[in-house]
Structure 1
């Protein structure tokens, strides 16, 4: 049975962590916020392939997804994001059409720079007891 009700969108987030523990973050071109790279999953790709594509498109860095960090739902927009901890393997980071700046930050710097709903993905990527399931309103976590 087909419904006219709104449908969810699925996105991916790449929490890219170097051997020295620094995290790759971008300053989004659309809203200026510092966040881990990511975007909408294409219909014909796996979540792992999608995160590889999105990180490369937004930063110039090729990565290997290592593990699922968590599932995060924006309750206001109906977007479900699958976050993966990734390891960088090749490339030189640079600004892109979607990212006005790209930087390697310490865990603490990245968490401080990002809105809570994105910062928690970074924190979760450094924990070993996930994956986590969390809900938010686009900025803050919800109970």
Structure 2
């Protein structure tokens, strides 16, 4: 089946919910909108979701991670972005700010949820549950 270049397209992103041994979650304050979120970004065409989350977390925080499992699929209904949330564990590196992250912090899960918009906080709470993966829709800020 030939694709029609005029049809709308989805973008696929990855979010890394990085959980340290003490239970704290890695979070960034985005440079573009000032929101606290799990690190992540757009998946490249030539990489798997696990490769993409390793690359994105490292690019945004300086922390190298090992993916553990897919914890959720989230669609931004306004932008057509599908994000795959992946629980990861840190294996090397110290967090630092980057062009994409004006702040990087290890937060208690409750602090991460409090600081993040609902559509991002749910990725953290879903990742910490054992009964996923979850499939959810949002408008960029709130769940639908």
- State if a TM-score over 0.5 links the two structures: yes
SS at structure 1 position matched to 2:104: strand
Aligned to 2:132: 130
Report the RMSD for the aligned CA atoms in angstroms.
Answer: 0.5
Deviates more, 1:117-126 or 1:2-11: 2-11
Question: Where do 1:100-119 residues align within 5 Å?
Answer: 100-119=102-121
Instruction: Report how many residues are paired.
Output: 142
TM-score by length of 2: 0.98
Unaligned ranges ≥5, structure 1: none
TM-score by length of 1: 0.98
Aligned to 2:90: 88
2:53 to 51, 54, 62: 51
Tell me which stretches of 4 or more aligned residues in structure 1 moved more than 3 Å: none
How far residue 2 of structure 1 moved from its aligned partner, in angstroms, is 2.6
Aligned to 1:37: 39
